[in-house]
Amino acid sequence: MTVTDIAGREVTLNAPVRRILLGEGRQLYLIASLVPEDPAGHLAGWRNDLIEADPATHARYAEAFPSLAALPAFKGQEDSLIDIESAIIQKPDVVLLNLEAMRANEDARYVEKLAALDIPVLYIDFRHHPLENTEPTIRLLGRILGREARAEEIIAFRDQAIARVTGVLAEHNPDRPSVFIERIGGYSDDCCLSFGPENFGKFAELAGGRNIGSEIIPATFGQLNPEQVIVADPEHVVVTSADWEAYVPGGRWIPLGPGADAAETRRKLEWFTSRDAYTGIAAQETGNFHGIWHQFYNSPYEFAAIQIMAKWFHPELFADLDPDATFAEFHRRFLPISYRPGYSTSLSGGPS
């Protein structure tokens, strides 16, 4: 089979594939929705980021599929080289890499080295242009796994979930509150990491907000200084965070994710209201501080993030919208693990 990946490369491979090497462990989010009966059985190895960056989800899958414990894992970063020795030893049918790793692998000529061993590489993307690239990524993996029909069902579910927000906004055309998104809150002391017009910046716009980072940051990711945030005077602050004990033991991160303790996540969110960058801003006066699971930025689940933020930004318009029910339905229909709430928290009485 010859397919075109997200980088526009034509790649020939033997399909349906049975053994996939994940250049990022969080790619399991999609694999598990396409082959829920045995996602572990389709993996040849993975990077260890799911284990470290999303321990609660990893624990759920490890419980359901004990063979994951024996899966070869390698270290690395989002834009780094894969462990080529692992790739060679495990002899996968295909290697999946994130789009941002393309430059590093081109410089090292890893793709050519793997091609010489009949190991094809496909680039996918949930992170840099998720609203543009998630659907073709789902469709691509559905095709190579022989799950085309299921891929289309997943795409239709996502489209409908997002349309439940965008359709209401188009009908009512409400004023858009200004929003500052603090990226990876608690992962470091840096201020103020944020998103430009893509990823969570785009999610906020689709949810009916006005992302102030889109007006300042030209790329997907970037940084504002505290003075810029104060001058922008955001009406809402959204902190993306997760359980990062593996990276920052005892840090100020908010341990959001499946099964998170609601009282604890709210307690840890409260600290962010004291940051110098938020002194005197509108959100501080109203208590419109919110925390959301950071991993929405790198998964096929952004529809849930859009619904959650829509409830925060326009609570009256979306009084009947239930993001937890939407995400629970996705789990019921497409995933091999049951849903557990804990993906968001708020100080203003919205979804938590």
* Structure tokens that stand for 183 in this block: 């990226």
Q: What is the pLDDT of residues 301-313, one digit of tens each?
A: 999 999 999 999 9
* Structure tokens that stand for 69 in this block: 């414990």
Q: What is the pLDDT of residues 70-104, one digit of tens each?
A: 998 888 655 455 667 767 778 899 999 988 878 76
Cα angle value 320/325/328 (rounded, 5°):
170
Radius of gyration, CA atoms only, the chain: 20
Out of 120-129, 165-174, 211-220, the most confident range is 165-174
DSSP code string of 272-303 = HTT-GGGTT-HHHHHT-EEEEEGGGGGSTTHH
> Residue 100's pLDDT is what?
82
- 8 A C-beta contact, residue 234 and residue 176: no
Averaged pLDDT for residues 157-163: 98
Residue 174 Rama label (left phi>0; alpha psi -120 to 50; beta) = beta
Report whether pLDDT(210) > 70: yes
- Where are the strands (E) in the chain, listed by range? 2-4, 10-12, 20-22, 43-47, 73-74, 94-98, 121-124, 178-182, 193-195, 210-211, 221-223, 236-241, 289-293, 344-346
User: Alpha-carbon distance 267 to 264, whole Å?
Assistant: 5
User: Alpha-carbon distance 168 to 41, whole Å?
Assistant: 42
Helix (H, G, I), strand (E, B) or coil at 64: helix
Averaged pLDDT for residues 231-249: 97
pLDDT band of 117, cuts 50, 70, 90: confident
Question: CB under 8 Å to 117, separation ≥6 — which residues?
Answer: 88
Question: Mean pLDDT for the chain?
Answer: 93
DSSP code string of 87-98 = HHHH--SEEEEE
> Residue 77's pLDDT is what?
57
Looking up tokens 């919110």, which residue turns up?
Answer: 290
- 8 A C-beta contact, residue 180 and residue 109: no
pLDDT band of 111, cuts 50, 70, 90: confident
Strand order in 121-124's β-sheet? 73-74, 43-47, 20-22, 94-98, 121-124
